[in-house]
Amino acid sequence: MPSLKDVARLAGVSESTVSRTLNRSIPVDEKTRARVEDAVRKLNYRPNLLAKGLRARSGRLIGLIMPEIIHFTFADLIQEIDDCSRARGYSLIVAHHKGDAVLEEAIIDTLIRRHVDGIIFSRGPDESREKKLITDSGVPAVVIDCAFENEEHGAVVLDNYRAGMMAGEHLTALGHTRIACVTGPLRIALSRERLKGFRDALAGRGVTIEENFVIEGDFRFESGVRAAQLLFQQGSEPSAIWAQNDDMAVGVLKHLGSIGLSVPGDVSLVGMNDSSLARMTTPGLTTVAQPYSEMARQAVSLVLSLKQQDRTIPERITLNPSLVIRESTARV
């Protein structure tokens, strides 16, 4: 691999001149520039980003930490964040921790050693020790999607309360009164916020949720199935259900199918996230969508801007959900 030195030698100039030519930092004589560019081409020279990074104390790198990769929300976010980062000249180091706090710390540690310019992560359910680690190191960090109520880092989140409201308003507008909700883990703030918005929307129409119509799931398909089992083995049954993500909604759908109930004929069903699942099911799933692309853009912007400014004021950016109506909901 040729280095600056080789280019300089071949072009018959000093290393500094080559560097200046390539970085257009300072005017350079036309003829020298031509000679340098020639040499660069001949040697197929590529600047060594490790050396550049060492010098600049910046790896031009963004670290992205997710609980897992094979789930719609995370895969969506990763893909969008990858786009934005590259557009701004940064590469993405991606890692997942599966909810393991020790692993998460190890990942953060590595990112710091690699001199990433920022870390974007989504909180796992358990309060991990990342705060100290990140704050001490001075690396800017932004939480995306899954944050605490009062987050100590910058955060880009959905207005989850509003998401709940939208689901609730849609179902009550259709005349439903016996309404159930399959939540995410209630330890996670966004599950609670969604539920609160949902409850408030119903209350606004004079509807209250029976306590055994609120089932706590874990965002996985299987928990949706279990929730539906629970809901439909009791004496009284809901005519509408909101599941706080599409996976669980599809779980509900599967169970309803297996006990011979039709959607939306017998039960109306709303999901959340507008993942690619939503258009694949029969019937297509009405769902509350998140603006992933916008969230990604904001997260990248925020984390890079934190690098410059003084980082005492954690900024929180809240984006709006939207309702996508398909065939899984109908008038009561």
Partner DNA sequence: TTGTAAGCGTTATCAT
Partner DNA sequence: ATGATAACGCTTACAA
Asked if 88 touches a second copy (CB under 8 A), the answer is: no
**Contact between 29 and DNA per CB under 7 A:** yes
Alpha-carbon span 322 to 170, nearest angstrom: 11
Burial class (CB in 10 A: 0-12, 13-18, 19+), 276: exposed
Query: Which of these ranges, 11-19, 61-69, 133-141, 265-273, lies near DNA under the rule CB under 7 A?
Result: 11-19
Query: From the list 34, 38, 41, 48, which residue makes contact with DNA (rule: CB under 7 A)?
Result: 48
CB of 39: closest distance to DNA in angstroms? Answer: 12
- Among the listed residues 274, 263, 288, the one whose alpha carbon sits nearest the alpha carbon of residue 198: 288
Name the residue among 323, 239, 212 with its Cα closest to residue 278: 323
Q: How far apart are CB 16 and DNA at their closest, in Å?
A: 3
Q: Are 71 and 48 in contact (CB under 8 A)?
A: no
Q: Is the CA virtual torsion 116, 304, 288, 280 positive or negative?
A: negative
The single residue among 35, 96, 199, 226 that binds a second copy, judged by CB under 8 A, is 96
Nearest to 143 by CA among 118, 165, 111, 169: 118
Counting contacts by CB under 8 A, is residue 93 touching a second copy?
Answer: yes
Q: How far apart are CA 180 and CA 176, in angstroms?
A: 10
**Residue-wise burial string across 18-46, b where 16 or more C-beta atoms lie within 10 A, e elsewhere:** bbbbbeeeeebeeebbebbeebbeebebe
Q: Which of 41, 46, 98, 187 binds DNA (CB under 7 A)?
A: 46
Site residue total, a second copy (CB under 8 A): 53
The distance of closest approach from Cβ of residue 270 to DNA in the complex, given in angstroms and rounded to an integer, is 52
Of 94 and 319, the one with the shorter C-beta distance to a second copy is 94
Closest by Cα among 124, 92, 108 to 299: 92
Span of 12-20, 31-39, 71-79, 172-180 interacting with a second copy by CB under 8 A: 71-79
Question: Does residue 72 touch a second copy according to CB under 8 A?
Answer: yes
Q: Which stretch binds DNA (CB under 7 A): 17-25, 67-75, 89-97, 101-109?
A: 17-25
Judged by CB under 7 A, does residue 9 bind DNA?
Answer: no
Spatial CB neighbours of 33, under 8 Å, sequence gap ≥ 6 = 21
**Residue whose entry in the numeric block shows the structure tokens 């904001």:** 298
Q: Residue 20 binds which one of DNA, a second copy, none, with CB within 5 to 8 A depending on kind?
A: DNA
Which amino acid is residue 35, in one-letter code? Answer: R
25 binds, among DNA, a second copy, none (CB under 5 to 8 A by kind): DNA
56/244 Cα distance (integer angstroms):
44
Instruction: Single out the segment in contact with DNA by CB under 7 A; choices: 14-22, 139-147, 284-292, 303-311.
Output: 14-22
Contact residues for DNA (CB under 7 A)? Answer: 1, 3-5, 12-17, 19-20, 22-23, 25-29, 31-33, 45-48, 51-52, 54-57
Contact residues for a second copy (CB under 8 A)? Answer: 1, 44, 46-51, 53-54, 57, 59, 68-72, 75-76, 78-79, 82, 86, 91-96, 107, 109-110, 112-115, 136-138, 221, 247, 250-251, 253-254, 257-258, 276-277, 279-282
